[in-house]
Chains A and B, each alone.
Chain A
């Protein structure tokens, strides 16, 4: 077969030459096509399956410079701090920190030996999951004793594993006395002279699980206490004590969760008589009430209440819910009438503290997030609600450590500025690199 010539712009190529170009073209395309496909792949095809994100987890960063400090040794396994409190326990003029450690089964006193220097001191004997405490001179000897709420188990249990234990301060050594035994899980205890007899009595939240109760213990003197039932219900978790009605007697407020999601006020009528009144309730059984704290947020001289909502322990993992956050139960006076205002929507809130962090003379609110969207970067664990004259703007103070359950605020280092301490309660294995135990956020000098 003779070569076939073809016309091409006046030039003639042999057929083998044209085939050669075709082969080159085909092979070039064949080689380059997969690469081109790989490059184009992200831009081709339909959108990915839509995955929603939590609207209550991320906030603008707070402008609040701090030095972060870790208290105690680094955790070797899930730390479980259940309570933290700023108090000058030894009355030496320096603020100390008391913490309940459910993992190490102890109360710890972080004594401030020098400015920002801490000495870890175990208080009293090991206790079966201490979860709350009151610092009070229970025996009237002039020093500060501790009364501990013993939960028995962080995880749900309906067994009678709770106690109230008085740790009597004998010159810095704390001697235990069991004041209440054979009750279900005790979540909180607070002290106040309810009878007017000059001895501190105790309000006790027996959280339990299926069963629980709200009690007050009448101080009969000599370390003897008689228990009185206020309400038989599962779920009492916090019992702040204050004169909410303005009648000159200490009343008991009580948060009752476990689907009830309500706040009661037990109005002290004197002589050990209390009149119950429910001051907050929602039909939303899933609100996730987590803590209740008395604080005068509007500085009108009447104690208000801050209710934190963020507990979703119904299944093994948790997600921030749109109704989570902090609710302000504002005491309007007139015998303790309360109005409810939600301060901010923040996911998984467990603890709140009130302090003027911004230095503008107005009390701000700080929130500790126990359950947030920890699988996504930037989910807040510590949130400042900046008080802009009644409007509270959420700002992320920190994202690490996660699972912050308890919180307190005050001037720790004596520089006249508020500092923060928070404890982590880790119930799962998620992200050990983000575990924490006790963390301090100390305000840098202005």
Chain B
């Protein structure tokens, strides 16, 4: 007799369990029907911090982030985010798949279509990319001129001249599109048209080198040596590119990449470092290094330790950088500073001399200045030599930034400190010429040629000056 209620209870319980299971199965099947799982590439090649974050995002796409995702977790925003992360990490096919899905679910959002177009472009699926960009335009994307520009560039990828031209014309006044039209005119040997377009751009954007470069080419093609020389000089004097819509997308991809895993820790540590929260910065940097060693992170860690006066530890980190990733002049300079801070003067000087052998470019000015100070008391001649090199490096840097007046001061200091430094006279001539000081420029070039008769650039620059 006691078996009957037990059996009945077991039957009711079993039936209930079965019904629950069937309901859950129906729900899961339904969910599976309405949304496939996100694509998951082989993530083994990633460092563990990034891998974990990416896996969490994959889970958000798979299971949703809100309670109503229980019924349908078509979370287009999560898929778009995953697509962007894949894209920033180089998983382009998976990125395209996620962004395609996000665009499909988000039938009205123009940005989703735009991003999908960008992902297709990365895969070289150009006609599909153009279609996605056109879809973004249909959905009312606010960056209409930029999108026409992208469409034009994609037609160029397919070598479709007329279609590209039409798209660039549709981009209206966008400087980058107008430059492309000038290039297309030049390719079609419509010299006058190309020249007119480029000259307008050159006037409107006096700091931009693109139009000057094109005008130089036009002169080379037409064998006009005088114009070629003039525009080559203008090309050199203009420091910046024309603004391009691609700058926006580049920033977006880099920002996304730098927000993930080790690189995210590195970015956050940088903020903490600048806020003076050195202990917390150090913690994040050590986490990042544990995930995957990189010289950039190690360098910041050495800085953080040095600021905390933990000099021996900072030196050890720098030495590890040298062992693992080889020398750079910046690293050798820093090692010299670390040795000097520890009172090891001979070691400091050895690293600095090695750095000087390796160093090139304007950024080395600080290294030369340090050396100038180092030798100030003991070897004044040598100190002046480094002072001249520091001033020359600074002057060149300023000149290439389009700051001729600032460059002039540095370059005058360079030739004062070392009157035998021929390159300093050449760049002094360049600065003076750009400031309209023709006679003084001539003097400087001539002095350069006296010191170094074979200095070809000084001879060419002299020829650009009007007759005295």
| Complex: chain B residue closest to A104, CB-CB | B326
In the assembled complex, which residues on chain B have CB atoms less than 8 Å from the CB atom of A314? Answer: 246, 250
Could you list which residues of chain B lie within 8 angstroms of chain A, going by C-beta atoms? 3-4, 7-8, 10-11, 14-15, 17-18, 21-22, 25, 28-29, 32-33, 36-39, 41-42, 45, 47, 88-94, 96-98, 100-101, 122-125, 153, 156-159, 161, 164, 184, 187, 209, 213, 216-217, 220-221, 228, 231-232, 235-236, 239-241, 246, 249-250, 253-254, 257, 292-295, 323-329, 354, 357-363, 396-397, 400, 423, 427, 454-457, 459-460
Q: Which of B42, B213, B358 contacts A127 (CB 8 A)?
A: B358
Q: Which of A29, A46, A50, A276 contacts B33 (CB 8 A)?
A: A46
| Complex: chain A residue closest to B126, CB-CB | A322
Contact call A27/B14, Cβ cutoff below 8 A:
yes
Interface 0/1 of A45-58, CB less than 8 Å to B: 11111111110000
In the assembled complex, which residues on chain A have CB atoms less than 8 Å from the CB atom of B123? Answer: 52, 54, 319
Q: Is the interface of B mostly helix, strand, loop or mixed?
A: helix
Partner-binding segment picked from A4-12, A82-90, A227-235: A227-235
Instruction: Indicate if A78 sits at the interface (CB-CB under 8 A).
Output: yes
B102 to chain A, nearest CB (A): 11
In the assembled complex, which residues on chain B have CB atoms less than 8 Å from the CB atom of A233? Answer: 213, 216-217
Contact call A26/B15, Cβ cutoff below 8 A:
yes
Contact call A375/B423, Cβ cutoff below 8 A:
no
Q: Which of A27, A159, A213, A281 contacts B10 (CB 8 A)?
A: A27
In the assembled complex, which residues on chain B have CB atoms less than 8 Å from the CB atom of A413? Answer: none
Most B CB within 10 A of own CB, among A19, A26, A127, A225: A26
Contact call A232/B216, Cβ cutoff below 8 A:
yes
Contact call B41/A284, Cβ cutoff below 8 A:
no
How many positions in chain A have a CB within 8 Å of any CB in the partner chain?
85
Bound-state Cα–Cα, A103 to B331, Å? 13
* A residues 117-166 touching B (CB-CB < 8 Å): 125-128, 150, 152, 157-163
Contact call A126/B354, Cβ cutoff below 8 A:
yes
Instruction: Indicate if A64 sits at the interface (CB-CB under 8 A).
Output: no
Most B CB within 10 A of own CB, among A104, A224, A231, A375: A375
Contact call B293/A77, Cβ cutoff below 8 A:
yes
13 A-B residue pairings within 8 Å (CB atoms): A19-B11, A22-B11, A26-B14, A30-B14, A33-B25, A37-B25, A44-B32, A48-B36, A49-B101, A226-B456, A276-B221, A314-B246, A319-B90
Instruction: Indicate if A168 sits at the interface (CB-CB under 8 A).
Output: no
Please give 10 more A-B residue pairs, beta carbons under 8 A apart, in addition to A30-B18, A228-B456: A19-B4, A26-B14, A47-B36, A51-B97, A103-B326, A125-B357, A159-B400, A226-B456, A283-B184, A319-B122
Contact call A319/B124, Cβ cutoff below 8 A:
yes
Q: Which of B88, B295, B456 contacts A316 (CB 8 A)?
A: B88
A54 to chain B, nearest CB (A): 8
Say yes or no: A316-B357 contact (C-beta < 8 A), given A232-B236, A233-B217: no
Instruction: Indicate if A76 sits at the interface (CB-CB under 8 A).
Output: yes
In the assembled complex, which residues on chain A have CB atoms less than 8 Å from the CB atom of B456? Answer: 218, 226-229
| Complex: chain B residue closest to A178, CB-CB | B360
